[in-house]
Amino acid sequence: MAATVIDGKAIAAQMRAEFKEEVAQLVAQGSQPGLGVILVGDDPASRSYVTAKERACEKAGIYSDDNRLPCETSQEELLQLIEKMNKDPKIHGILLQLPLPGHVNESTALVAIDPDKDVDGFHPWTVGNMVIGEHTFLPCTPHGIVKLLERNDVQTSGAHVVIVGRSKIVGVPIANMMLQKKESGNATVTICHTGTRDLASFTRQADILIVAAGRRNTVTADMVKEGVVVIDVGVNRIKDDNKKLGFRLVGDVDFEKVKERASLITPVPGGVGPMTITMLLHNTIESAKRKLMEDKR
């Protein structure tokens, strides 16, 4: 029997409807959540992604401060803008779209963001809190994965979670989150990567397989066991003359064949992707709630 396809779009839409009500309640108390957005340069993928985030903010009732800077913007100019947003009471979260131009030091820019406004979850302070299990902003894509599992009643406690990919954006943080002794964690975790020998011997052990390798067909049907839950984070362009743009998007998993063995599987597009922006909204709202509570003390 083919797997049930996890509809990330539907779950994201449901959560965003819930957010809209939360935002309305905050506005009624005089605190509209605000997101400061910084895009340096004119990378088409980054521009499209930022535009989608801004539209999502507007629909949820979140104030968005849009800053699109030329590629030649200096590091000092960028740091000055970040500091301005750090001090702006209307801004509860700061989104610095990556990658940055080569002349700007990414680490320096990320560290400049106030951890209390680090809604992307990239600041070392935030990462450290996540690792030790303290309450903090969780990185958006991994957090979105957790929500997909929760809302599909997938039990992680005691499960063997195998992660393919060790990036600091997906692989490493989701491994840490799955390890936490919490309701949506408490799993046994294996991380695989380009240095892993005999990848299939590990992926076949997975109860939950999370694939974020950045390469098409990294996981094929013979590499998974019956009933596995598959979360495909990969986004790869392949040529398709039947499409208007001349290409289509596929994940890192051989979807059509793997779904015949899996119990649940995410599609690409329409799986994990919509959840990333959704969790950015979530973090921004949570930041506004924290600030409101502080102001009332």
Examine residue 123 and state whether it is found in any structural domain, yes or no: no
Query: Rounded distance, CA 88 to CA 8, Å?
Result: 33
Q: 236 and 159: one domain?
A: yes
Of the listed 65, 118, 120, 232, which one is catalytic?
Answer: 120
- Tell whether 99 and 151 lie within a shared domain: no
Instruction: Judge if 179 and 267 occupy the same domain.
Output: yes
| Residue 168 and residue 68 share a domain | no
Cα–Cα distance measured from residue 223 to residue 226, given in angstroms and rounded to the nearest whole number: 10
Active-site pick, 7, 65, 97, 116: 97
- Residue 242, exposed/middle/buried by CB under 10 A (0-12, 13-18, 19+)? exposed
53, 117, 147, 291: the active-site residue: 53
Q: What's residue 27's pLDDT?
A: 96
Q: CATH no. for residue 176?
A: 3.40.50.720
Q: Mark whether 146 and 110 lie in a shared domain.
A: no
**pLDDT tens, position by position, 93-107:** 999 999 999 999 999
Please tell me whether residue 57 adopts helix, strand or coil conformation.
helix
Mean pLDDT of 268-278: 96
In a domain, 121, yes or no: no
Residues 93 and 163 in one domain: no
Assess whether 253 and 150 both reside in one domain.
yes
Is 32 assigned a catalytic role? no
Indicate whether 19 belongs to any domain. Answer: no
Q: What is the pLDDT of residue 47?
A: 87
| pLDDT recorded at residue 44 | 84
**Domain co-membership, 227 together with 172:** yes
Is it the case that residue 297 has pLDDT exceeding 90? no
- Are 41 and 157 members of one domain? no
Reported as half-sphere exposure (CB side, CA atoms, 13 A), residue 245 has a value of 5
Q: What is the pLDDT of residue 1?
A: 62
Q: What is the pTM for the complete model shown?
A: 0.94
Q: Is 25 noted as a catalytic residue in this protein?
A: no
Distance (Å, rounded) from C-alpha 46 to C-alpha 6?
Answer: 26
Q: Is 127 among the domain residues?
A: no
- Would residue 23 count as lying in a domain? no
- pLDDT of 104 reads 95
Residue 85 belongs to domain with CATH number: 3.40.50.10860
Asked if residue 226 belongs to a domain, the reply is yes
179 part of a folded domain: yes
CB contact at 8 A, 221 and 257: yes
pLDDT digits 0-9 by tens, 20-72? 999 999 999 999 999 999 999 988 888 888 999 999 999 999 999 999 999 99
110-150 residue pLDDT tens: 999 999 999 999 999 999 999 999 999 999 999 999 999 99
Residue 25: C-alpha distances to residues 18, 90, 205, 292 (Å): 11, 16, 46, 12
Q: Do residues 265 and 144 both lie within one domain? A: yes
Q: Which amino acid is at 41?
A: G
pLDDT digits (tens, 9 = 90+) for 181-226: 998 999 999 999 999 999 999 999 999 999 999 999 999 999 999 9
- The answer to whether 289 is a known catalytic residue is no
Domain count of the fold of the chain? 2
Q: Which domain holds residue 62?
A: 30-116
For residue 104, being part of any structural domain is answered with yes
Can you say how many angstroms the Cα of residue 32 is from the centroid of all Cα atoms in its chain? Answer: 23
Question: Per-residue pLDDT tens for 224-272?
Answer: 999 999 999 999 888 888 888 788 889 999 999 999 999 999 999 999 9
Which pair of structure tokens corresponds to residue 274? Answer: 């919509």
Same domain, 194 and 263: yes
199 and 110 assigned to the same domain:
no
Residue 132's Cβ-count burial label (10 Å; 0-12, 13-18, 19+) is exposed
**CB-based contacts of 134, cutoff 8 Å, min separation 6:** none
